[in-house]
Amino acid sequence: MAIHQLIPSFVPGDATGQAALHLQLLLRRMGHAGALYADEVGPGLEGLASPASALRPAPGDLVLYHHGIASPLSSRLMHLPCRRGVVFHNISPARFYEGLPLADALVAGRAQLAAMAPFAEVAIGVSDFNAAELRVAGYRNVHTVPLFIEPERFSRASADAKLLQRLEGPGPVLLGVSRVMPHKRFEDLLALHREVLRLRPQARLLMVGGYEPGSRYFRMLQREARGLRGVSFLGRLSHAQLVAAYRSASVYVSMSEHEGFGVPLIEAMAAEVPVLAYAAAAVPETLGGAGVAFDQKRFAFLAELAVDLSEDPALRGPVIAGQTRRLEHFSAPSVQTAFTKALETVLPRPAPKKPGKVPERPRVALVVQRYGEVTGGAEKLAAQMAEHLAPHWDLTVLTTCAKNHLEWDNAFPPGPDVVDGIKVLRFPSTRVRNIRGFNGLSRQVFDKSNERLREEQWVAEQGPMCPGLLHHLATERDAYDGYLFFTYLYAPTVWGLPLVADRALLVPTTHDEAPIRFGVYRDVFERPRALLCLTPEEHTLIEKLFPHHAPTRVVGVGVDRPRADGARFKEKHGIHRHYLLYIGRQEPGKGVPELLEYHQALKERFEDAPDLVLAGDTNMALSGEGVRYLGRIDEQDKHDALAGALAVVVPSRYESLSLLTLESFAQGTPVLVNGRSDVLVGQVERSGAGRAYTDLESFIQGLREVGSERGPMGKRGLAYVKKQGWPQVVAAYREEMQRILEEKRQ
């Protein structure tokens, strides 16, 4: 059974869309798969939400429709052949818009709300106030599930530095955040600011929110603001800018005459700004005793109060502390408890668990984004682990039909498959990646503070989008005793792991790269039963980025040492000089352009400079003096190439463990690695079988040393890999899985 959500509009900055995204996160944590469907999908968000017309629920599925202003989706909901629920976000009373076209849509929205009542099995209000309106509208099974907030996204570190600097200045600074609409009463903010100016002539007022510059209401506000000092209309801001506005404010003020919840109230709390709010509709409920609510708009009085809240630490401190306590009510776990309670009334009860024996040969699903004849370190590791664990586990690989990780186009047929004796179940990928668009999005979101929507968008664009795989995880969870996920980065792990986190192990292959700082990866590192790291450096990185990570264990990898012949490789490919070797994905993200640049510089400076041999899939031009690109090569050829190389170069700076390095050691060949990767430097330092470089000079120097000490270094490398054997690695995996099985049995 899936739980889908239907939203009128899914665009950035829309509170309903954000609520749907948050509920989807909770649903995954509760083990339910499901998708978002919207009448209007914002540009670039097609990966996250599908058009409402594409919604085809199964009879047992539940569709939660987010209702606000009038939408044709309410009629569609009533006719869906499945179970139905309504999430009510409130509708502004029409009395604020009498005589305006908007009034019609507001009343129509309320009529639709009442019309849906007999068709909804469950109704959710985001506040008790909304829940009361649902009951008045005729709903029976009504629950309150508040919206939640991720306070860490409102920390000072998340603020846009430029805007923060621009907004620096004398206080007090009052802040109002909302769409510029008549019932939000921005004119009252101006009236308050006028009074504050009498007390503090340097005071400022920041007004944040989307507005129509030509609208009569906005022009009225502009006219009123004209005679006042220190008023800034900042308009709609990005998330980081919004945080900067909150973090620049002394007091957050709400003069709104109607709020069904009041998201900015809790955002201000998260940004540690005292809240001063008119106690309208759900505002007192949202504040829950925190902040300061008032019942009369006496501006002279409120100005005094705002100044006190800004300047009096004895008043400000306890208010901020109280607000921080209040935020607990809007935390994800707290909201999940309420949501679970609401859904329990409509979902089938899970069958009671029967304590049983720990299976001798547990059924384990190995989840990885690609499998089979594919290039990629993590994928190769997954294949090696599958091969070594298959004798001990009843293993099924759950993966996509994709072969190419840049586009994720379906190359393998969907359904059951067998690869080297391992059972594989493939699910089609539903989107082909537009790599140019993806790179553009990456530039926008990397190294910045983002709202969840942007990060989820990035994950969707990263892909592979494979709803079938997620559905399988959610619905067939009892078909497996445990799960083994590979790689933290891709969508099947980010969205699939939470579905089965209570019995999942993750081999994260953590890289120190920009996206790992996204909040969406917190679940990936915090929710599985254990993280299996490949190196101590990876463990250190996880400690640093995810202080609340799941239990971690360094398991390493085993290395095969097949017989190899370097001369055979040279002869086969007509190579007559010494050569440096890099085998792997030939792409910018792996540092290949820098390697080519250094090699060309080497050729220009030294007559006897070695050639550069490259092998593996590529999506870039590989050319230059002495550069040989061989394409994909088979396993024996690879080991022959490793054995015959002067040194193996590992140019990537993002590595959780370099299998190439270990395979090189296994053939007695030293390595020259990118010194900006802690993992590679750690491998070289522990083995003493190579050198690290950070620029051209250190590249040349490292190559000299490796060339002159190739023999002793090679021996040290061989000794290093002999210590890491498959039996120890396999035993570590089995021990961790056994822990899960024991717990499951109880």
Of the candidate spans 111-119, 398-406, 571-579, 716-724, the one that interacts with another protein by CB under 8 A turns out to be 111-119
How many angstroms separate the first and last alpha carbons of the chain? 26
Quickly count: other Cβ atoms within 10 Å of residue 157's Cβ. 9
Spatial contact of 28 and 73, defined as CB atoms under 8 Å apart: no
- Among 51, 60, 235, 289, contact with another protein (rule: CB under 8 A): 289
Take residue 729 and report the two structure tokens written for it: 């690695």
Nearer to another protein, 269 or 367 (CB): 269
The closest of 358, 368, 351, 404 to 616, measured between CA atoms, is 404
> Of residues 112, 336, 400, 552, which one binds another protein by CB under 8 A?
112
Strand 204-208 with 36-41, pairing: unpaired
Question: Rounded to 5 degrees, what angle do the CA atoms 612, 615, 620 make?
Answer: 90
Quote the CA–CA distance of 576 and 563 in Å, as a whole number.
22
Nearer to another protein, 45 or 145 (CB): 145
Q: Which of 40, 47, 110, 145 is nearest to 437 (CA)?
A: 47
Residue type, 501: A
Q: Please, which of residues 210-239 interact with another protein by CB under 8 A?
A: 212, 214-217, 219-220
161 part of the interface to another protein, by CB under 8 A: no
The 3-state secondary structure of 405-444 reads CCCCCECCCCEEEEECCEEEEEECCCCCCCHHHHHHHHHH
Q: How far is the CB of 194 from another protein (least distance, A)?
A: 13
Amino acid at 536: P
- Give the whole-angstrom CA distance, residue 24 versus residue 35: 8
Count of residues that bind another protein according to CB under 8 A: 58
Q: Which residues pair with 425 in a beta bridge?
A: 398, 416
Site for another protein in 317-346 (CB under 8 A): 318-319, 321-323
Q: Is 292 an interacting residue with respect to another protein (CB under 8 A)?
A: yes
In the complex, least distance from residue 295 CB atom to another protein, rounded to whole angstroms: 5
Q: Give the one residue of 8, 284, 566, 675 binding another protein; rule: CB under 8 A.
A: 284
CA 127 from centroid of its chain's CA atoms: 27
Q: CA–CA distance from 364 to each of 384, 390, 488, 502, 726 (Å)?
A: 15, 10, 19, 14, 19
Residue 424, amino acid: V
The reply to whether 73 sits near another protein by the rule CB under 8 A is: no
Q: Give the residue, chosen from 6, 55, 63, 106, that forms a contact with another protein under the rule CB under 8 A.
A: 106
Question: Minimal CA–CA distance to 557: which of 539, 535, 530?
Answer: 535
**Whether the Cβ atoms of residue 506 and residue 488 lie closer than 8 Å to each other:** yes
By C-beta, is 320 or 520 nearer to another protein?
320
CB of 178 to another protein, least distance (A): 17
Lookup result for tokens 């076209």: 101
Q: How far is the CB of 181 from another protein (least distance, A)?
A: 11
Six-digit token string for 615:
């092998």
Q: Which of 205, 207, 293, 465 is in the footprint of another protein by CB under 8 A?
A: 293
Smaller CB separation from another protein, 68 or 651: 68
Q: Is there binding between residue 101 and another protein (CB under 8 A)?
A: yes
- Rank residues 216 and 443 by Cβ distance to another protein and give the closer one: 216
User: Least distance (Å) from another protein to the CB of residue 321?
Assistant: 7
Residue 728 in tokens: 């120890």
Q: How many CB atoms lie within 10 A of CB 127?
A: 24
- DSSP line for 472-530: HHHHSGGG-SEEEEE-SSSHHHHHHGGGGGGGEEEE------GGGGSGGGHHHHHSSSE
Q: Which of 168, 227, 296, 352 binds another protein (CB under 8 A)?
A: 296
Exposure of 153 in the CB half-sphere (CA atoms within 13 A): 22
Select the residue interacting with another protein from 30, 115, 696, 730 (CB under 8 A). Answer: 115
657 sits in which H/E element: none
272 binds another protein, rule: CB under 8 A: no
Q: From the list 270, 280, 520, 679, which residue makes contact with another protein (rule: CB under 8 A)? A: 280
Of positions 33, 287, 343, 465, contacts another protein by CB under 8 A: 287
Closest distance to another protein from the beta carbon of 252 (Å): 14
Helix 635-644 to helix 659-666 angle, to the nearest 10 degrees? 70
Q: Does 79 bind another protein (CB under 8 A)?
A: no
Q: Does 140 bind another protein (CB under 8 A)?
A: no
Please identify, among the stretches 203-211, 276-284, 370-378, 627-635, the one whose residues bind another protein according to the rule CB under 8 A: 276-284
**CB of 220 vs another protein, minimal distance in Å:** 8
Choice from 51, 60, 100, 152 touching another protein (CB under 8 A): 100
Which span (19-27, 144-152, 159-167, 300-308) binds another protein, by CB under 8 A?
Answer: 300-308
Q: Which is nearer to another protein, 106 or 531 (CB)?
A: 106
- Interface stretch with another protein, choices 132-140, 201-209, 343-351, 440-448 (CB under 8 A): 132-140
Q: How far is the CB of 131 from another protein (least distance, A)?
A: 10
DSSP 59: T
Residue 196 found at the interface with another protein (CB under 8 A):
no
DSSP class of 618: B
Binding segment toward another protein, per CB under 8 A, in 131-139, 610-618, 652-660, 673-681: 131-139
CA distance 582 to 238: 42
* Position 432 contacts another protein (CB under 8 A): no
700 near another protein, rule: CB under 8 A: no
Site string for another protein, 246-265 (x = CB under 8 A): -----------x--------
Distance CA 331, CA 334 (A): 5
Q: Which of 10, 37, 129, 546 binds another protein (CB under 8 A)?
A: 129
Question: What residues line the site for another protein (CB under 8 A)?
Answer: 91, 93-95, 98-101, 103-104, 106-108, 110-115, 129, 132-133, 136-138, 212, 214-217, 219-220, 257, 279-280, 284, 287, 289-298, 300-301, 304-305, 308, 315, 318-319, 321-323
